[in-house]
Amino acid sequence: MTVELDSIKAEVLRRNPGEAEFHQAVDEVFASLAPVLKKHAKFEAAAILERLCEPERQIIFRVPWVDDTGQVRINRGFRVEFNSALGPFKGGLRFHPSVNLGIVKFLGFEQIFKNALTGMPIGGGKGGSDFDPRGRSEGEVMRFCQSFMTELYRHLGEYTDVPAGDMGVGTREIGYLFGQYKRITNRYESGVLTGKGMGWGGSLVRPEATGFGTVLFANEMLATRNQSLDGQRVLVSGSGNVAMYAIEKAQALGATVLTCSDSSGYVVDERGIDTELLKQIKETERGRVSEYAERRGAVFVDSGSVWDVPATVALPCATQNELDEAAAKRLVESGVVAVAEGANMPTTRAAVSLFHEAGILFGPGKAANAGGVATSALEMQQNASRDAWTFDHTERRLEEIMVGIHERCAATAEEYGAPGNYVIGANIAGFLKVADAMLALGVI
């Protein structure tokens, strides 16, 4: 980094103490930007980086609700509206006990660049709560969502801020949130939330989009070396929405996906994961991957990680910092040729460096998993025009967008002297699009 970048980063860390994940996200982007600032002095003069690192708005609120026993519960809600230079704030809501302001800021900061890379007119934001929907009844989840939206609704709008789902927030939670928004505002604004059910304004392909997009990006990376996913042995972590559809798409392209996981452990299925059985257990029964192993006759391991299994492609689709340097070493030794992030920042900086040193293709989340938010923007388009597209049409649009993201990242990396480095390509391409828009809009 340059002296200027170091100074700006030090000030960001000082102003945001104790927010390790946010610091990590900032450091990862800043590490790519020295050649950009050298080439474009206008960004430094306009304090673009300082403004990018300071959210336009940070909302923290109390979420009181009553559980099934009549006990009053209190959770904390967040919405960080980070940057709207390109369009309304756009980013998911995460319901998980680990959620705090630093995690929401890291996710929102990543979202700025991810959304810019899609080429769609959407800004970056993120939100959520430390509420855990797992183990809660339908009534408890509904009452929590209604209380959460009772505060958040005043900050939302299809031209202001458009949340979607994330970890712990699926179609069920989006339904309860949208219902409360409609009740309070007396307006049926379909475009105020994405990830809706198909019967009430949702888009085909949206549930599949993040996982599908991650696999499409991985396939584009492999194509630069005259390879494809066909015949590859693939590791997938997680068993939620992203992992589920990454498994499905990878196997549709000829790969054998060997693993999936949750907080209880991981499954190794040498025949390839049975996606229909996995969906039944995780989505319908809300069960554990150990039940999949028992019913499928696969191996369940309650220690270690999926990265212990020999394979050629890795798709981390669970959570941040799940793939560390030690795991990266094991993957390199097992012959992995490509890694694409389905989750947000699941790979530590040390692990990323190791992959680059070993010549392994690495697709960062802000590029590889951008298909989800891109399809959310397509859902917004359909809502605005009171239209509904077919699955095939929407999937073609998703593929076009992912191919475009890959091309932008590859071309930008080449332009700035780092051919094949998708981290540098994604960071610089996303930054330039947002920074130029910020300059055009003035000091706001």
Encode pLDDT of 328-385 as tens digits. Answer: 999 999 999 999 999 999 999 999 999 999 999 999 999 999 999 999 999 999 999 9
Q: Is 139 exposed, middle or buried (0-12, 13-18, 19+ CB in 10 A)?
A: exposed
One domain, residues 39 and 172: no
Work out the percent of the chain whose per-residue pLDDT is above 90: 98
Encode pLDDT of 147-167 as tens digits. Answer: 999 999 999 999 999 999 999
Residue 199's pLDDT is 94
One domain, residues 300 and 265: yes
One domain, residues 316 and 246: yes
In sequence order, what DSSP letters do the residues of 296-345 get, joined into one string?
A: HT-EEESSS-GGGS--SEEE--S-TT-B-HHHHHHHHHHT--EEE-SSSS
Work out the percent of the chain whose per-residue pLDDT is above 70: 100
Residue 39's pLDDT is 93
Q: Is 388 exposed, middle or buried (0-12, 13-18, 19+ CB in 10 A)?
A: middle
Please report whether residue 398 resides in a domain.
no
C-alpha distances (whole Å) from 60 to each of 81, 99, 159 are 11, 12, 21
CB atoms within 10 A of CB 67: 14
Residue 286's pLDDT is 87
Please report whether residue 28 resides in a domain.
yes
One domain, residues 237 and 345: yes
Give the torsion sign (CA, 296, 302, 308, 313).
positive
3-state secondary structure of 441: helix
Give the torsion sign (CA, 439, 51, 194, 363).
positive
Q: Of 158, 189, 220, which marks where a domain is finished?
A: 189
Domain count, the chain: 3
One domain, residues 346 and 231: yes
One domain, residues 244 and 146: no
One domain, residues 349 and 282: yes
Q: Of 9, 29, 49, which marks where a domain is finished?
A: 49
Containing H/E element for 110?
helix 101-118
One domain, residues 127 and 250: no
Residue 394 assigned to a binding site: no
Please report whether residue 290 resides in a domain.
yes
Give the torsion sign (CA, 326, 329, 334, 337).
positive
Q: What average pLDDT does the chain have?
A: 97
One domain, residues 93 and 155: yes
Q: What is the Cα–Cα distance from 283 to 240, expressed in whole angstroms?
A: 8
Give 35-39's long-range contacts (Cβ < 8 A, gap of 24+). Answer: 35/416, 35/417, 35/428, 36/416, 36/428, 36/431, 36/432, 37/2, 37/4, 37/5, 38/2
Token output for 56: 């336009």
Active site residues: 126
Q: What angle do CA 395, 396, 399 make, to 5 degrees?
A: 85
Task: Place 326 in a pLDDT band, splitting at 50, 70 and 90.
Answer: very high
C-alpha distances (whole Å) from 190 to each of 178, 379, 380, 430 are 8, 9, 8, 28
Please report whether residue 3 resides in a domain.
yes
Residue 290 assigned to a binding site: no
Residue 2's pLDDT is 76
Q: Are 214 and 369 in contact (CB under 8 A)?
A: yes
Q: Which amino acid makes up residue 4?
A: E
Please report whether residue 288 resides in a domain.
yes
Residue 210 assigned to a binding site: yes
Task: Place 96 in a pLDDT band, splitting at 50, 70 and 90.
Answer: very high
CB atoms within 10 A of CB 444: 8
Please report whether residue 194 resides in a domain.
no
One domain, residues 354 and 268: yes
Residue 83 assigned to a binding site: no
Residue 137's pLDDT is 97
Q: Are 361 and 332 in contact (CB under 8 A)?
A: no
Residue 1's pLDDT is 63
Please report whether residue 387 resides in a domain.
no
Encode pLDDT of 216-229 as tens digits. Answer: 999 999 999 999 99
Residue-number span of the structural domain to which 34 is assigned: 1-49
One domain, residues 363 and 214: yes
One domain, residues 180 and 164: yes
Q: Of 332, 353, 368, which marks where a domain is finished?
A: 368
Identify which of 397, 380, 369 has the alpha carbon closest to the alpha carbon of residue 122: 380
Q: What is the CATH number of the domain that holds 224?
A: 3.40.50.720
CB atoms within 10 A of CB 61: 16
Encode pLDDT of 280-322 as tens digits. Answer: 999 889 899 999 999 999 999 999 999 999 999 999 999 999 9
Predicted structure pTM score:
0.94
Residue 251 assigned to a binding site: no
Residue 114 assigned to a binding site: yes
Token output for 157: 């709008």
Q: What is the Cα–Cα distance from 209 to 429, expressed in whole angstroms?
A: 22
Please report whether residue 284 resides in a domain.
yes
Q: What is the CATH number of the domain that holds 129?
A: 3.40.50.10860
What is the four-CA torsion angle of 32, 34, 39, 41, rounded to 10 degrees? Answer: 120
Residue 90 assigned to a binding site: yes
